[in-house]
Structure 1
């Protein structure tokens, strides 16, 4: 027993976790009168994604496919930021994809306005900016010159006065007018102001006449503010306007219902997991519950900006799903450790020794499982995020360069919470849990094996099952499942507009509408065939009408607004309102599909390489290849569930596939880790089939119990999403549940038995043969 871990450590760590959870939820503020000062951000400070609070997600490109420079794209982005500010939209996200000359903008529903017009907002953001220099400080001052007269605007540093400035260089068309204006204003101590559209971006006193066209604007600039003003002035000379290549709008009504569903399912899932762990493992279960509280708080803290080194992030519905899934999967390291402790107790060790050995033996499996999940989560962030951090910037500049940035920030949020969950698994599930376990074991009252889930009378040693001998049966079962899944294709596959381009618009309405009559009316408005679906809203008083179509030119926001006006005119008593729209150009859809395929292939290659390097002792390359073969089995079954339940193949499908990658490999790695461990414990003359049978049998209980927690989590989410009619979550959680089942089966019954079959074909029939082939023989 490590005597440095004293008895008070359990209570100290517990108090730290609970205090951390409290500050994460409520934050820390102080007030001076009515003015608050925030020291730690709480839940109220979390920035919610547009899928929760409603808003617009749009990708702009220069008109006429112009290949804009980096400076021009930065200047255009500054114009958009300024225009968002004038619309009273102060909680927006704006990114530039320099490789493909794109600007990605996400902004919430305009504050304080129920009838916000997203079409008008998008149109205004993309218009060519109008920059003017005017006499005085008023918007109606006489215009001196326009942005077309500006040659260069750049930040600079005045060494003499030790301050940042903005340097201007005018072309020949503006020099004379500027010289006249500065001479006049300097003589009377007047001002010259610079305006972007109708917003003043600079107002400066004229100190002297400037006849050479080179001016310096000074003030209390920082390096950042000087660059910002220079970019804004540069934007006034931009030779292009912007047009939207893909647009997604969402009403706050849908987001509110989805948020409610996720909160309810999260609380139910957390409660179930806590009770499950307490019932199975007693004290380790209690420690796991404390760790889960800390993990949940940590993921919310990572989003809110609680940690000083991590800026706040946007929380989306898939991000919340990622938190819930991470909690379910976070239990895995607690289950692995608890099972290892029980095995050590069954060998006759005392509690202190069993805890020490249990954590030591479990660490390699926990490490490998979490690192593979981290690989998948980082790829999710890189594929579906924007280049705002070193990881995504690197992936965008290399692997995903041909495709550019994407507007699927929802999936990025899911990947971000998975990464946070992996990190917190180590902090809470390994480090903090180990300290608490070793501390509490020093109390005599808690040194009973029964308090750690082990009862000598009821504990049954692991029975070795003949996995290898039943491999033909497993392969037949797998083949049947694969054939059935592939056959679902004949039921009809719905490819989302994310991949093929087009438009989908959802409306809420009250009362009754005849679907066929409505379809006919809409086709008359658009002069184009449409697909139409109706369904119930989570609000029992309203229904949802979904209209979708795909062709070479997708429906613009202006056309969507006109269609809404016509429908309100045709159905005045049905209170028709737009809930959501998603418009993607065919070229953007093809690029997005290509990026998804590359993400899956890249993830598979990285995972094969990782397994090959980490499991050299058991022929790592073959282990990696057969792991991916088992994953292909899981992907096809997951695909079948999408088609069977009528869900569209969309970005949710890719997120599910990549998550199953991490989960299924995590299960398989636990088995491989036991094979690697048992290889050094068994006789070299033992058949390799017995090595796999013993290892798979020893990990079966852990796999079943982990699967119960994660599968139950997905079932809870699915049931709540079904009750609240949240289709976007249902199309994620239901296929995920099928994928989890398939992953459990393939990791226990397919990947290990394929590995045995391959080694036996190569002549490695015993443990010793395998060790010699891999250089692991001593």
Structure 2
């Protein structure tokens, strides 16, 4: 790279960095496109709409309520990945949609939640199911009779999506229709139904009323269908709304709706941003001290990484919650990993006697494999979680995927360009890049039995403590209301308190009475009401809280009401999350097996991943930190962190095995020793980011940061002491079995 071109390139990078920072902070144009202010935020950050429905049936079964809550959850996710639905009392369902401000519009978009089905014109015995009335089609008999006759060909659950559309016909006239996208099972049913009913009508029944009865012109394949004959786009969109929300197990009616303020106040957001800024500065200074010129490059790359992630979140309308902000801040620490791997390699090459120019070239080349495999493995997990996860799992997956892709760009493309440009402008002395310290190979695998025993103690400790709590009449883990439900206390204060007052005055009082550090206060906009969600309170605790609120804030006790609420993470959503993680783990195992061409690498990676997850679970059990939605995000972060650390060790073992033919023990020990700097530095930078979060943020974020710090320490321990030892043990076992 010639000097003039290098100077021009550096100038462009600095301009790009300034532009990205300006875009993320301020935005472009009158609409402030790209600004952080325009990122969609969750109910905890920006507030939104809360709608409570009541079942028409007075005493619905628990099974029907659970099914309806789950289906409502899937429906409201069209507005935001962080929207949630949960049971309130015995016969109510509340949906909360972040970022929305118009309750009436949401109600209109959702439609009236009733029961939807598609029925044939007549049954197999020729009995008519519906007929034309004075103005519209009407059912000829009850829906129960029609169902028993086998005339229902599709349920609302067979429809994946429905949209009201306008299109031009062959005469260039505008026509309106509803476009249907069916599930795989629904598509199969629809092919058979339309094939058997060509020339006949199939009626769409909603809430026991026929809303459309189109004629089947031909067998419909491909999982797509269209209902034509709408009088206008509004009618088409309304019908699409009915279909999207259809096939609930219970019929619902609106009880109340309101616009609610953010669950967490400005203080929580400002402290998180401050924590991110302070953490970023500390990490950049650390990299400057350790890597000198490459440290400057790393600092610029980290700033670009942060700005790019924020702009990308804006561009793709990803809903961001407070744990998401924490995840981005954590991602800054993890993004250092690729730079550490590269710069450690450059140091090694200089120490080996190569010129600085060659060291830069070989450093990036040799680091590429470990960075690529580590990031792609984690990206595979993110893509699986996007497809199979729901709610916070899906939201986490989007943020994770964006972070991985941006990190790969800033480390492999931007950092490389900057280092080469700095060399081209005259920064050629090796002292600016540093030398790797020559370390004698440490015998890690020789102590593997001790390490395995220590890990086994930690792993067993978790289930043992959980069992002890359960046997003692308590809960195995300290489940937050997200998982186990809780109590919603609605308080009408004498004055209109803003969310900052609630955070500073009300929340600490509630935390003290309930001994719950995961209190979720929500202000109802336009009123003096605040809904305070806590863990499930006993009758005595409810009375104590009510009395405390009366004493502290002089509220009218008659204006305090309590209601039991279900878990916002339903059993079905938990099953979705578990299935998603299992499938993601299998996909990662297959990828590692394919890339390393050795099942021992893949199996050991999964065992190391399970080790880290189980140790962090034990930490949750011992510390009694609340297990809520952030628990899912924490565990998923640990999975990504663990796999990435494991791949780095395995990549070095693979490389050394190609170059050397000594004992496996010596190769593994040397590989771990060579990557020891990376393991320590990456753990330090990640720990710094999480520790700053813990120091500066609110209590609910501290409950997220604390187990993450434990996870970072565990990840460092496992990558150094467990990962290589696991591979060696499984490899030797495999070789022993093959000789038999």
Q: TM above 0.5, one fold?
A: yes
**Which one of the candidate residues 351, 359, 381 is aligned to 2:364?**
359
> How far, CA to CA, are the matches of 2:355 and 2:412 in structure 1?
21
Equivalent residues of 1:501, 1:584 under 8 A apart: yes
> How far, CA to CA, are the matches of 2:645 and 2:506 in structure 1?
50
Equivalent residues of 1:608, 1:624 under 8 A apart: yes
- The answer as to 2:367 corresponding to 1:374 is no
- The answer as to 2:699 corresponding to 1:716 is no
1:228 alignment counterpart: 237
> How far, CA to CA, are the matches of 1:167 and 1:149 in structure 2?
21
> How far, CA to CA, are the matches of 2:582 and 2:6 in structure 1?
49
- Post-superposition offset of 1:7: 4.2
Question: What secondary structure sits across from 1:469 in the alignment?
Answer: helix
Equivalent residues of 2:478, 2:621 under 8 A apart: no
> How far, CA to CA, are the matches of 1:150 and 1:235 in structure 2?
22
- Post-superposition offset of 1:268: 1.3
Distance 1:155 1:511, change over 3 A: closer
Structure 1 length-normalised TM:
0.66
**Which one of the candidate residues 711, 714, 730 is aligned to 1:742?**
714
- The answer as to 2:449 corresponding to 1:472 is yes
Calculate the aligned-residue CA RMSD, in Å. Answer: 5.1
1:404 alignment counterpart: none
Equivalent positions of 1:163-562 (< 5 A) are 163-166=173-176, 227-231=236-240, 241-242=251-252, 251-252=261-262, 254-305=264-315, 311-385=316-390, 408-409=391-392, 411-444=393-426, 446-454=427-435, 459-489=436-466, 490=468, 493-494=476-477, 496=479, 501-505=484-488, 533=516, 547-549=534-536
- The answer as to 2:566 corresponding to 1:584 is yes
Q: Deviations over 1:701-731 (max 9, x none)?
A: 111000001111111112223xx33x2x222
- The answer as to 2:614 corresponding to 1:636 is yes
**Which one of the candidate residues 622, 627, 651 is aligned to 1:649?**
627
Distance 1:695 1:344, change over 3 A: same
Distance 1:58 1:477, change over 3 A: farther
**Which one of the candidate residues 642, 656, 670 is aligned to 1:694?**
670
> How far, CA to CA, are the matches of 2:544 and 2:620 in structure 1?
31
- Post-superposition offset of 1:43: 2.0
- Post-superposition offset of 1:259: 1.5
1:751 alignment counterpart: 723
- Post-superposition offset of 1:512: 12
Q: Deviations over 1:252-285 (max 9, x none)?
A: 2524332123112111111111111111111111
1:191 alignment counterpart: none
- Post-superposition offset of 1:13: 2.2
**Which one of the candidate residues 580, 583, 586 is aligned to 1:602?**
583
Distance 1:250 1:564, change over 3 A: farther
> How far, CA to CA, are the matches of 2:80 and 2:672 in structure 1?
51
Distance 1:752 1:300, change over 3 A: same
- Post-superposition offset of 1:296: 0.6
- Post-superposition offset of 1:380: 3.7
- Post-superposition offset of 1:439: 1.3
Q: Deviations over 1:493-550 (max 9, x none)?
A: 335366765333367696999999x99xxxxxxxxxxx77589999xxxx99764339
> How far, CA to CA, are the matches of 1:256 and 1:581 in structure 2?
27
> How far, CA to CA, are the matches of 1:572 and 1:66 in structure 2?
40
- Post-superposition offset of 1:663: 0.8
- Post-superposition offset of 1:232: 6.0
2:648 alignment counterpart: 670
Distance 1:271 1:732, change over 3 A: same
- Post-superposition offset of 1:42: 1.5
Question: What secondary structure sits across from 2:445 in the alignment?
Answer: coil
1:403 alignment counterpart: none
> How far, CA to CA, are the matches of 1:655 and 1:110 in structure 2?
24
Question: What secondary structure sits across from 1:314 in the alignment?
Answer: coil
Equivalent residues of 1:660, 1:739 under 8 A apart: yes
- Post-superposition offset of 1:640: 1.7
Distance 1:234 1:712, change over 3 A: closer
2:554 alignment counterpart: 573
Distance 1:279 1:485, change over 3 A: same
- Post-superposition offset of 1:333: 0.6
Distance 1:463 1:580, change over 3 A: farther
2:210 alignment counterpart: none
1:14 alignment counterpart: 14
> How far, CA to CA, are the matches of 2:405 and 2:270 in structure 1?
27
Equivalent residues of 1:534, 1:546 under 8 A apart: no
Distance 1:149 1:421, change over 3 A: same
- The answer as to 2:44 corresponding to 1:54 is no
Question: What secondary structure sits across from 1:632 in the alignment?
Answer: helix
Equivalent residues of 1:380, 1:655 under 8 A apart: no
Question: What secondary structure sits across from 1:648 in the alignment?
Answer: coil
> How far, CA to CA, are the matches of 2:548 and 2:319 in structure 1?
34
Equivalent residues of 1:498, 1:651 under 8 A apart: no
> How far, CA to CA, are the matches of 2:668 and 2:243 in structure 1?
67
Distance 1:150 1:679, change over 3 A: same
> How far, CA to CA, are the matches of 1:329 and 1:649 in structure 2?
24
> How far, CA to CA, are the matches of 2:462 and 2:243 in structure 1?
56
Distance 1:19 1:104, change over 3 A: farther
- Post-superposition offset of 1:563: 13
1:107 alignment counterpart: 97
Structure 1 runs not aligned, ≥5 long: 30-35, 68-72, 82-89, 97-102, 130-143, 169-213, 306-310, 386-407, 520-530, 556-560, 765-769, 774-778
- Post-superposition offset of 1:429: 1.0
> How far, CA to CA, are the matches of 1:579 and 1:282 in structure 2?
61
2:127 alignment counterpart: none
Q: Deviations over 1:107-133 (max 9, x none)?
A: 348759xxx99xx989x976779xxxx
Question: What secondary structure sits across from 1:659 in the alignment?
Answer: helix
Equivalent residues of 1:368, 1:669 under 8 A apart: yes
Distance 1:94 1:162, change over 3 A: farther
> How far, CA to CA, are the matches of 2:247 and 2:577 in structure 1?
34
> How far, CA to CA, are the matches of 2:364 and 2:52 in structure 1?
49
Question: What secondary structure sits across from 1:299 in the alignment?
Answer: helix
Question: What secondary structure sits across from 1:441 in the alignment?
Answer: helix
